[in-house]
Amino acid sequence: MRITIFGAGYVGLVTAACFADVGNHVMCVDVDQRKIDLLSQGIVPMHEPGMDNLLATNMSTGRLQFSTDSAAAVRHGEVIFIAVGTPPDEDGSADLQYVLGVANTIGQYMNEGKVVVNKSTVPVGTAQRVSNSIQTVLSARGESYAVDVVSNPEFLKEGAAIADFMRPDRIILGTESTHAIALMRELYAPFNRNHDRLIVMDVPSAELTKYAANAMLATKISFMNEIARLAERIGADIEQVRIGIGSDPRIGFDFLYAGCGYGGSCFPKDVKALRRTYREYEEEPNILQAVENVNQHQQGLLFHKLQQVFNNQLQGKRFALWGLAFKPNTDDMREAPSRVLMERLWAAGAQVQAYDPKAMQETQRIYGDRDDLQLCTSPTEALQDADALIIVTEWKVFRSPDFDLIKSKLKAALIFDGRNLYDPKRMRARGFQYYGIGRGDQL
């Protein structure tokens, strides 16, 4: 099948590479010439495990190509995916200018019937707006072609996106077109062999499903963080509570880890956008507001603990920071808790010595050269003469470190663990002053 993907960002690139890998001919188009030049050379401008090899394999066969030629891209695809960004607007709503811009481009250049698929995360009603935009441009051209607009939200986890695409939990299709359903079934058949994962529903339900899924996961995280606050006050250990409630199959263990807050490109943006949709319909998103409030509190919690331990005297202190990306196995720092922490430390006059396995270049891009930020080449280098170690991202490399080495490098045996990687009793037995999240330390 001939497929066009508009948008060579995270979702678009994964979608393009995975469809090409099962034999389709895919053209991925983007307005960013530099990004397209890099991709055409086989250089992936982001970190996603397995993407380098997947890209190289399918480019070498000619099944995957990159371009900035929108007209050629529209003509190429029987199915055209829209996978461009929907950044939050000033009021928290999803900014649809790029989605609707692609719709106008499709209407301008299409010369036969198309199935247009919304892969971007968009509010309810966007598919209709995309259809209307295409038809308006076609009418202005004096042309009439069949256009089916399908909602097909993505459920990719950064760091595991290829596996998620190749072996999906579910494939959501929002459409009432029998032609589009048949075509999409054929397209997704290679990823749907073990059992039928394809769920067809009306378009508004499909659009809402994506937001509801991310809001539910964000709610689980904030709920555990809320319980963690109480655990600290009463001397309970949130990790033991997690195991106790997670063993209930109605609840499960996923997304029950207390910590220093969620970040990334999805949860913060989608919770805000869903809240905005509620208010457009004059409804109050009470739970979602609480989810967001709790997360804002959690992102400032490590700094608050530092203030308490150091009696608000952070001026001139030096802190080792392990983890910059918002989660492991990515270099994405959008809405990352590390950014909140570093910026507050700098405002208080402290210095940061930071290490992350993948996000160093992204940190440099965001903050540039600063006297109060040292980007280190190893976890050990970050520890040198620091007043404390702060763990912000739960990379595997941080899970079983040499604690004797840590103690020898730090000025004081002091650890603030924003991801609860270590056991408090064992850490104290090793001579560390240790503060986690909800571990009964009452800070």
Q: Which residues are catalytic?
A: 266
CA torsion, points 45, 48, 52, 53, in degrees to nearest 10?
Answer: -170
How many Cβ atoms are within 10 Å of 114's Cβ, its own excluded? 22
Which class for 346: exposed (0-12), middle (13-18), buried (19 or more C-beta within 10 A)? middle
How many Cβ atoms are within 10 Å of 229's Cβ, its own excluded? 16
Lookup: tokens for 307: 């203030």
Q: d(Cα 368, Cα 359) in Å, to the nearest integer?
A: 13
Lookup: tokens for 340: 């909140």
